[in-house]
Amino acid sequence: MFNKIKWAYPALLFALLFSVTHQSWCQESTDSLALAQEAEYQDAPAYADNEYCLRCHSSGYFTLSDSVSGLSRRQPMCDNFNIPKDKFYKSVHRSFGCTDCHSAEYKNFPHATALRFEPAFACIDCHGGDENFAKYHFEEIDAEYTKSVHYKLENGEFTCWKCHNPHSYVPLARRDSLTTNFVVESNKMCLECHGDIDKLHLLSDRELTGVIKKHDWLPNQSLHFKSVRCIECHSAQNSDILISHNILPKDSAISDCVKCHSGNSILMGTLYKFRTIESRKSFGFVNSAIIDNNSYVIGANHSKLMNIAGVCIILMTFLAIAIHTFFRIRKSKK
């Protein structure tokens, strides 16, 4: 017993020392990382000009002063107007100055109310008709978008920026590896409004429909949400553009499992597996295998090639038998 206590003191001391050293090392490394990042941002062409705006718009607060009383007070910056520097300087628009897109009058503070009504640029305004951006098919995207339910329902109030934040936009779909993160980021665009009543009400008076409840028919719901983009089922696919922008009305959304889980696809296999196991769990092996195996419905073995080959083989066999029978009959008559 005594021996155990004797060893406990040095161990405790070591743990304490390690904890203090580790904390200070972590603090130092965080600081140096922030400095390194800041140095990286300074390479941006409009860094110095942007600092004037970003000192408020990236800090989470701004200082409001009253010229009559001479008092100053810090106020929280609304999230919608907060532009984290790390996101802006990693976005596709990192080389831009704030006043390239926004009025130079924003340099005056407090900002005039009329400025809030300045028309925002749409993607097509800068990228349309430009050979440098031809590969992104902005014109086709714009044409698809004007067909979409967003454009029609919101009477033109809906803009590109409702889904694509110009201050942080990165083209995830054009990166080399499409990971689950890509799906999550893509769905985040939809859920920012369709999962947040406050944001939805900025555009519409409609109530939230409850994404999870609306999709309760979907097997393995959480897995689908993690692995499938909302637009896979809720938009009309157009092979000319990478990402469909024609968002369909809810009644036209795909709810037929076979659309994805069919033919020679891994998805077909996973649905077959899912339905077989679920059926076995619900009805037991004998009942699910013999009486009610719905898994077949998706056409696990449907292959046109096999269908044709099967018929051909059987017909050729019958033909050979018919010829053989013909000669047998002829022989018996001789």
**Interface residues with another protein (CB under 8 A)?**
263-266, 268-269, 272-273, 276-277, 285, 289-293, 295-297, 300-303, 306-307, 309-310, 313-314, 317-318, 321, 324-325, 327-328, 331
Q: For residues 225 and 272, which CB has a smaller minimum distance to another protein in the complex?
A: 272
Rounded to whole angstroms, how far apart are CA atoms 229 and 182?
9
Q: For residues 25 and 285, which CB has a smaller minimum distance to another protein in the complex?
A: 285
CB of 159 vs another protein, minimal distance in Å: 41
Q: For residues 171 and 263, which CB has a smaller minimum distance to another protein in the complex?
A: 263
CB of 143 vs another protein, minimal distance in Å: 35
Rounded to whole angstroms, how far apart are CA atoms 292 and 286?
9
CB of 187 vs another protein, minimal distance in Å: 24
- Six token digits for residue 265: 């696809």
CB of 333 vs another protein, minimal distance in Å: 12
CB of 332 vs another protein, minimal distance in Å: 10
Q: For residues 14 and 318, which CB has a smaller minimum distance to another protein in the complex?
A: 318
Other residues' Cβ atoms within 10 Å of the Cβ of residue 62 = 17
Q: For residues 259 and 324, which CB has a smaller minimum distance to another protein in the complex?
A: 324
Q: For residues 213 and 334, which CB has a smaller minimum distance to another protein in the complex?
A: 334
Find where tokens 């196991």 sit: 277
Q: For residues 117 and 327, which CB has a smaller minimum distance to another protein in the complex?
A: 327
Asked if 255 contacts 217 with a C-beta cutoff of 8 angstroms, the reply is yes
How far does the chain reach from its first CA to its final CA, in angstroms? 112
Asked if 244 contacts 237 with a C-beta cutoff of 8 angstroms, the reply is yes
CB of 250 vs another protein, minimal distance in Å: 25
Q: For residues 109 and 296, which CB has a smaller minimum distance to another protein in the complex?
A: 296
